């Protein structure tokens, strides 16, 4: 292979980028290069371990970004993890593998996408190799439905073989039942409401994390037509002088080595951005695609005027309560529940719905005023109303709750799934390797605060519900009843959440290169092509236009399989 010219150049060897690289290079006549800022991490024990969660965070495989001050939450800045290395965030994530709700995906066509639940389910299954639980795990409460999984794809999934033993599954199950939440035996088939055990991206035989590189790259690493350049940062796209009918044609990628040497890698066909929801919009902006006022601040010439780049940024806020328990449980806790808006608000649901519906035109006007002309208020109103109506559907999950039990602690972590706040990610330096400004605008709109309060109350109530209450040491519950009394107002709860609870992002950051019609604030079309370009695509979580339930990799592996088919199809027509 010529090491400076390739048919396809993929910028970012992360979760989605590796899938695309692996699929495109199945054709030995096609040459593919992957540019990855991090290193190979195949044998990094912080990555491979399945006994502990979170140990790779805050190490060299984590970009350790910092957010802009949260102006709606005490001006604090949040530490923001994102994976660095071949495998991207799949190297450091929590490994949960839960697909979105079918009701959510089936709304996507109404906002202009081709992708719906049936397609996503099929492409996600194409990638999957589920390893069914052993009889002993089943006895502990592990369950699954065979037709909601596939067994032939490259990505190994399973119920963690190190699943927490003992009676904790039954205690949690009975406690949720007492709150009206039914058992659920499968979370990957599009229905989510209920309590049960989740699948994860682990190899249950080898007992290692199944990251994207382990699934899609190492098994095919001897392919001569696939070149991975690690420790190399993509800084921008370089454009062909030809500009037929005003369409921008990429000719090369500018890359920078660790010691700062800059070089050029040429693309015969396409450049595919897979640098994740923070870096893909930044690379576009550094290449002259974005809002002219953002670009002019860094003296960048406008190649394509596309103000939607970097807008529409969404993530969920992870909240938690905690307590000590009187028994000791070890192992990997694969327990999860999804609850609906009605589970949360009961007979108040319709009044919450109606008051929120009345506020949406105001929210939409605010978003349109801040997004630099990416979309207007009526488009935003439609998107937000779509989100709200969906929440009313009884089978659509509104909140995910993961009751984590480790040793003598229980800390339910939970997040409202559909935030209304809309942030942004934009470059703010002429140094093209510097992180962009990450402004999530958490708690921008009062509905997000209302959901956070209702969910946190629900979770503390869970700790005091039988039979779980029988093993919870009540005096250790956080927040304590002295600090936040039983009858505390929503204002007191929200203050505790914002200033004392150490809430975190869910690291499901998305939306910054949204797949939507251009007038709705889209950056890419249904073929993943960036508007105004002929041969630049984005394939990573940044293209997902709205938050959904579940966890992002199950969605993204399916999206990347779908994108790979489209890119191959277009390649055959060249
Ligand atoms: P990434 O996988 O982040 O890939 C982007 C890649 O591009 C990285 O390798 C990066 O180093 C590289 N890159 C960036 N900029 C450049 C550049 N300029 N040049 C070259 N390379 C560059 N999801 C789940 O499904 N389940 C979970 O349990 C879960 N838990 C999570 C926990 C944490 C701590 C984190 C961070 C995420 C978690 N997620 C989870 C989310 C999920 O892992 C991500 O949404 C998903 O992996 C994102 O994939 P991506 O391809 O969009 O980006």
**DSSP symbols for 131-184:** EPPPHHHHHHT----GGG--BSSSEEEES-TTB--SSHHHHHHHHHHHTTPPB-
Ligand 1: which residue has its CA nearest to atom 34? 93
Distance of alpha carbon 35 from alpha carbon 273, whole angstroms: 10
Ligand 1: which residue has its CA nearest to atom 14? 275
What number does the ligand 1 atom closest to the CA of 87 have?
A: 9
% of residues, the chain, pLDDT over 70: 100
**Set 149, 338, 342, 508: catalytic member:** 508
Output the pTM of the full model. 0.98
Per-residue pLDDT, 454: 98
**Which residue segments constitute the domains of the chain, with CATH numbers given?**
10-222+313-572 (3.30.560.10)
- pLDDT tens column, 542-563: 999 999 999 999 999 999 999 9
- pLDDT tens column, 361-399: 999 999 999 999 999 999 999 999 999 999 988 789 999
Give the pLDDT mean for 451-473: 98
508 given a catalytic annotation: yes
Q: Which residue has tokens 């984005």?
A: 538
Helix (H) or strand (E) holding 47: helix 45-48
What number does the ligand 1 atom closest to the CA of 98 have?
A: 25
Beta partners for 322?
478
The answer to whether the CB of 420 falls within 8 A of the CB of 314 is no
Supply angle C-alpha 411, 55, 215, rounded to 5. Answer: 110
- pLDDT tens column, 305-363: 999 999 999 999 999 999 999 999 999 999 999 999 999 999 999 999 999 999 999 99
Per-residue pLDDT, 481: 97
Give the pLDDT mean for 206-232: 98
What is the 8-class DSSP label of residue 25? T
Report how far ligand 1's centroid is from the alpha carbon of 90 (Å): 6
Report how far ligand 1's centroid is from the alpha carbon of 89 (Å): 3
Among 53, 93, 542, name the best residue to mutate to test ligand 1's pocket (greatest count of ligand atoms within 8 A of Cβ). 93
Ligand 1: which residue has its CA nearest to atom 26? 96
Burial class (CB within 10 angstroms; exposed 0-12, middle 13-18, buried 19+) of 261: exposed
Beta partners for 158?
131, 200
What is the 8-class DSSP label of residue 111? G
Per-position DSSP letters for 324-383, written without gaps between them: EEEEEE-SB--EEEEE-HHHHHGGGHHHHHHHHHHHHHHHHHHHHHHTTTSS-HHHHHHH
As a residue count, the chain comes to 574
Report how far ligand 1's centroid is from the alpha carbon of 93 (Å): 8
Q: Is the pLDDT of residue 573 over 90?
A: no
What number does the ligand 1 atom closest to the CA of 540 have?
A: 52
Helix (H) or strand (E) holding 290: strand 289-290
Report how far ligand 1's centroid is from the alpha carbon of 292 (Å): 28
Q: Measure the N-to-C terminal CA separation of the chain; round to a whole number of Å.
A: 21
Report how far ligand 1's centroid is from the alpha carbon of 526 (Å): 22
What number does the ligand 1 atom closest to the CA of 97 have?
A: 25
Q: Is the pLDDT of residue 264 over 80?
A: yes
Per-residue pLDDT, 165: 86
551 given a catalytic annotation: yes
Among 9, 11, 14, name the best residue to mutate to test ligand 1's pocket (greatest count of ligand atoms within 8 A of Cβ). 14
Distance of alpha carbon 78 from alpha carbon 38, whole angstroms: 22
Ligand 1: which residue has its CA nearest to atom 49? 15
Q: Is the pLDDT of residue 565 over 60?
A: yes
Distance of alpha carbon 529 from alpha carbon 521, whole angstroms: 14
Distance of alpha carbon 342 from alpha carbon 339, whole angstroms: 8
Q: Is the pLDDT of residue 234 over 60?
A: yes
Cis before 3? omega within 30: no
Q: Which residues line ligand 1 (CB under 6 A)?
A: 11-17, 35-38, 57, 81-85, 88-90, 92-96, 233-234, 274-276, 279, 283, 507-508, 540-541, 551-554, 556
- pLDDT tens column, 485-527: 999 999 999 999 999 999 999 999 999 999 999 999 999 999 9
What residues have CB less than 8 Å from 480, skipping those under 6 apart? none
Report how far ligand 1's centroid is from the alpha carbon of 508 (Å): 9
Ligand 1: which residue has its CA nearest to atom 22? 12
Report how far ligand 1's centroid is from the alpha carbon of 400 (Å): 20
């Amino acid at each position: 292979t010529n090491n400076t010219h390739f048919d396809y150049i993929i910028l970012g060897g992360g979760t989605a980028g590796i899938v695309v690289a692996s699929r495109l290079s199945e054709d030995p006549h096609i040459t593919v290069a992957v540019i990855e800022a991090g290193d190979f991490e195949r044998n990094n024990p912080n990555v491979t371990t399945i006994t502990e969660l979170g140990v790779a965070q805050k190490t060299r495989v984590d970009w350790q970004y910092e957010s802009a001050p949260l102006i709606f939450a005490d001006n604090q800045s949040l530490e923001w993890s994102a994976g660095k290395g071949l495998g991207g965030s799949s190297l450091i994530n929590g490994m949960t593998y839960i697909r979105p709700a079918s009701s959510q995906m089936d709304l996507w066509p109404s906002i202009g996408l081709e992708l719906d639940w049936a397609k996503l389910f099929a492409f996600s299954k194409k990638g999957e190799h589920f390893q069914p639980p052993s009889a002993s795990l089943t006895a502990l409460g592990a369950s699954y439905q065979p037709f909601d999984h596939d067994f032939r794809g490259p990505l190994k999934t399973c119920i963690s073989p190190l699943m927490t033993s003992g009676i904790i599954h039954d205690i949690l199950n009975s406690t949720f039942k007492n709150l009206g939440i039914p058992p659920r035996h499968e979370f990957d088939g599009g229905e989510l409401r209920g309590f049960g055990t989740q699948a994860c991206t682990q190899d249950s035989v080898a007992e290692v994390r199944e990251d994207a590189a382990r699934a899609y790259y190492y098994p095919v690493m001897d392919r001569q037509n696939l070149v991975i350049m690690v420790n190399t940062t993509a800084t921008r796209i370089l454009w062909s002088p030809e500009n037929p009918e005003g369409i921008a044609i990429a000719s090369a990628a500018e890359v920078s080595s660790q010691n700062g040497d800059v070089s050029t890698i040429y693309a015969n066909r396409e450049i595919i951005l897979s640098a994740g929801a923070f870096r893909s919009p930044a690379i576009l902006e550094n290449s002259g695609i974005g809002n002219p006022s953002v670009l002019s601040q860094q003296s960048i010439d406008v190649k394509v005027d596309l103000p939607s780049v970097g807008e529409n940024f969404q993530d969920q806020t992870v909240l938690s309560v905690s307590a000590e328990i009187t028994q000791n449980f070890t192992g990997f806790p694969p327990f999860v529940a999804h609850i609906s808006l009605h589970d949360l608000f009961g007979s108040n649901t319709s009044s919450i719905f109606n008051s929120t519906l009345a506020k949406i035109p105001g929210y939409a006007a605010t978003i349109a005023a801040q997004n630099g002309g990416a979309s207007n208020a009526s488009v935003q109103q439609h998107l937000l109303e779509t989100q709200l109506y969906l929440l009313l559907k009884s089978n659509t999950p509104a909140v995910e709750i993961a009751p984590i039990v480790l040793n003598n602690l229980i800390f339910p972590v939970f997040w409202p799934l559909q935030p209304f706040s809309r942030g942004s990610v934009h470059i703010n330096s002429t140094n093209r390797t510097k992180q962009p400004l990450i402004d999530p605008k958490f708690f921008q709109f009062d509905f997000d605060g209302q959901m956070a309060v209702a969910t946190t109350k629900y979770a503390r109530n869970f700790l005091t519900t039988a039979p779980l209450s029988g093993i919870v040491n009540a005096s250790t519950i956080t927040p304590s009843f002295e600090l936040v009394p039983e009858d505390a107002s929503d204002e007191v709860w929200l203050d505790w959440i914002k200033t004392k609870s150490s809430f975190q992002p869910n690291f499901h950051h998305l939306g910054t290169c949204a797949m939507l019609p251009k007038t709705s604030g889209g950056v890419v079309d249904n073929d993943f092509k960036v508007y105004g370009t002929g041969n630049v695509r984005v394939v990573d979580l940044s293209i997902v236009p709205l938050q959904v339930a579940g966890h992002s990799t199950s969605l993204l592996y399916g999206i990347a399989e779908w994108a790979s088919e489209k890119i191959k199809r277009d390649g055959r027509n060249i």
